[in-house]
A and B are shown apart, each in its own frame.
Chain A
Amino acid sequence: MEKNKLKQLEQVAGQTRAKVVETIQAAGSGHLAGSLGMVEVFTYLYHHVLSVRPQEPEWSERDLLFLSAGHLCPTLYVTLASKGYFDSDLLLTMRRLDSPLQGHPRRQVKLGIENSAGPLGQGISMAVGAAYQLQQEKSKRRVVVISSDGEQQEGQCWEAYLFAAHYQLKNLTILIDCNGIQQSGAVKSVMNLEDLKSKLLAFNLAVGVCEGNDLLALDTAWKELADVPYPKVLLCQTTAGKGVDFMENDYHWHAGMPSEAQWEEALRQVQLSKEQDVKDD
């Protein structure tokens, strides 16, 4: 990736991270750990990879991004705003009555949102269905789905992987947020996934692994998988709560809310980083 492009993406990521904290603070509830951890992935996909038209959200040739780990929606919403699908003022209404930005995404809202999400496993099945039909039609459109490590505990995911492999869906990429935590604790302690990479390989999917908070690493891994003629999985090793030092790697922030003082400190840290990105120019 060209140096200027990388710089630009890092700036967007810094702005997104700060906006995610502001958005969840305004809402009073939301999922900080995963949302903060997945900032780089959303930034990379929407600002570098996906062929979409924010002014024409239903453009018939657009790539499709399904959010299956629906609780990551604050980051989806902030990214969609940054891409121009809607005004960022709308972000402050997230989770409120009548807001189009619901606690978990709703398809009928549109504004760039492709699917309703929340019950884990469902978005992956929708994605494989869409990918199947598009491949049947020899379409050039790509299908991307964002999932999480905890989500892999739902059996439906594995039904979807059988289908993806059986029908050799080459147009499908699944990005899994591997932050090692979930609501009740470390994934290892709650329901151990063990060697997830080997399991996915055994299901006949192509698997890449990368540092999920490193845009360059994401880019390298994405490019390596790009032409592989199999359904693809990219295991993104992210830091839960990335960008706020007292949240990092702590499962309590999966859905936990900070105190007022903690909010202030969190905002201070992410806004400082954002300013630093600009200064480094």
Chain B
Amino acid sequence: MSKTIRDGFGEMMVELGQSNPNLIVLSADVSESLRLGEFKRTFPEQYVELGISEQNMAGVAAGIAMTGKTVVMASFAAFNPGRNWEQIRVSICEQNLDVKVVGGHAGLATGADGATHQALEDIALMSVLPKMRVVAPSSFVEAKAATAALVASPGPAYLRLSREGREKIGESKKSFKLGRGQILRRGGRAMIIAYGLTVELALEAATQLYQDEALSVTVVNMATIKPLDKQLVINLARQNSGVVVVEEHQEIGGLGSMVGMVLAKAGLKVALEIVAIKDSFGESGTKAELFLKYGLNVSRIKECVWRAIEKAPTASDD
């Protein structure tokens, strides 16, 4: 049985549907791709098909939420948010309604469908909206927990899902907590912060750096991008002055830019490297090919760790 990130979302939705008659799910003609087929079949009264009309979907979600329901509205991240950003801004955020925007097939991992379907701007689009929380789980298990946490937390939220992913990442016994970063590995001198599919790349890079180069770095899974766990970033940056952020998203407006703002505002002596999409669109390819081509790979991460360490001011520079 497939246990990707989107599978985790779909499975939890069915569990939540059992106990929650006030949970209404909307989809814009992509129910199977978002793993909502099971929910649709099991709870037909709680599922609404919108057809290929994402703007109307956002308004309908708001209208249903206004009658007292919790609404989950799902489509591909390129269109939801994206096409209906303004509707999310006003109908959902300004009115502060209990609607969860679910953006599936996010990032390059969408693969063969190509650039138009690869959402690389969605984190920026959602983070900039007042009232909106932004979460990007890294595994099947984390997607389940994140879905449950967001449905239980009233108010607007964005859940970014990949079509790929593994059952679980790392041996961390800590479960998902909204608004908290998760330390997956403790080291020093440098830290790698990631979310979604890049978390396992970060861990792999850390493992290789330790085994091959005797460098032990910290790895953080920043599953909640907004609200950002600023305290964790600042605390860790005191011991890990080389900071590398890795994301399947544009560099502009991504987590890296937000971490940079936190570090600079705190006046910390750190250096930042960002491994992300450098202001370009994606293209067709397999996930592996695309990650390699666009620099989302272990060797690039390792390079950036060393660059950050070299750039970072050391005690002797004082």
**Partner-B contacts on A (CB < 8 A):** 106-108, 114-116, 118-119, 121-134, 136-137, 155-156, 159-160, 162-163, 166
Contact = CB atoms under 8 A, between A and B. Distances in A.
Nearest to B49: A166
Given A116-B94, A118-B90, A119-B90, A159 B53 contact: yes
Contact of B59 (A108, A126, A134, A137): A126
B69 A107 contact: no
B154 interface: no
A131 B51 contact: no
Contacts of A155: 55
A191 B112 CA distance: 39
A128 B51 contact: no
A114 B66 contact: yes
B66 A159 contact: no
A163 B55 contact: no
B282 to A, nearest CB: 27
Given A114-B66, A130-B66, A133-B69, A163 B60 contact: yes
A146 B58 CA distance: 19
B254 to A, nearest CB: 27
B37 interface: no
A121 B91 CA distance: 11
Nearest to A139: B67
Contacts of B60: 125-126, 128-129, 132, 160, 163
A130 B63 contact: yes
A126 B63 CA distance: 4
Interface string B183-212: 000000000000000000000000000000
Interface string B64-84: 101101000000000000000
Given A129-B61, A130-B63, 14 more contacts: A106-B94, A107-B95, A108-B95, A114-B66, A121-B55, A125-B58, A128-B60, A128-B63, A129-B64, A132-B64, A133-B24, A155-B55, A156-B56, A163-B51
Contacts of A108: 95-96
Contacts of A136: 45
Contacts of B69: 133
Nearest to A117: B90
Nearest to A157: B56
A156 B94 contact: no
A166 B52 CA distance: 13
Contacts of A156: 55-56, 59, 87
B291 to A, nearest CB: 36
The 3 closest A-B pairs by CB, nearest first: A125-B59, A129-B63, A129-B60
A136 B90 CA distance: 25
Contacts of B63: 125-133
Contacts of A126: 59-60, 62-63, 66, 91
B55 A159 contact: yes
B53 A162 contact: yes
13 contacts: A118-B90, A124-B59, A125-B55, A126-B62, A126-B91, A129-B62, A129-B64, A130-B67, A134-B67, A136-B45, A156-B56, A159-B56, A160-B60
B50 interface: yes
Nearest to B90: A119
A163 B95 contact: no
Contact of A133 (B64, B86, B87): B64
B145 interface: no
B16 interface: no
A132 B63 CA distance: 9
Contacts of B30: none
A4 to B, nearest CB: 36
A125 B66 CA distance: 12
Contacts of B86: 119
Nearest to B91: A122
Contacts of A125: 55-56, 58-60, 62-63, 87, 91
A133 B25 CA distance: 12
Contacts of A119: 86-87, 90
B51 to A, nearest CB: 7
B24 to A, nearest CB: 7
A69 to B, nearest CB: 14
Greatest chain A CB density within 10 A among B63, B69, B91, B94 is at B63
Contacts of A133: 24, 63-64, 67, 69
Nearest to A66: B63
A133 B56 CA distance: 15
A8 to B, nearest CB: 32
B59 A122 contact: yes
B48 interface: yes
A50 B55 CA distance: 28
